[in-house]
């Protein structure tokens, strides 16, 4: 999907709109330059599974 839509895009997962970051550059940019926007995100079953509860 990143080849078609770029390194940052959103998808609808059920009732939640989710931002997808593809690649280390996109993740680093988001966490450093947009820390306030990306902090405090709600936990979801998918994120819980991906992080194994951490």
Q: Of residues 54 and 3, which shows the higher confidence score?
A: 3
User: Which pLDDT belongs to residue 53?
Assistant: 60
Question: What pLDDT shows up at residue 10?
Answer: 94
Query: Higher confidence at residue 37 or residue 25?
Result: 25
Question: Which pLDDT belongs to residue 27?
Answer: 92
Name the pTM for this structure: 0.61
β-bridge pairing 8-13 and 16-21: antiparallel
6-35 pLDDT, tens digit each = 999 999 988 888 889 999 999 999 989 988
């Amino acid at each position: 999907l990143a080849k078609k839509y770029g390194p940052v895009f959103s998808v609808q997962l059920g009732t939640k709109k989710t931002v997808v970051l593809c690649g280390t550059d996109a993740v680093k940019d988001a966490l450093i330059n947009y820390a306030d926007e990306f902090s405090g995100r709600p936990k979801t079953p998918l994120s819980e599974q991906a992080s194994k509860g951490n």
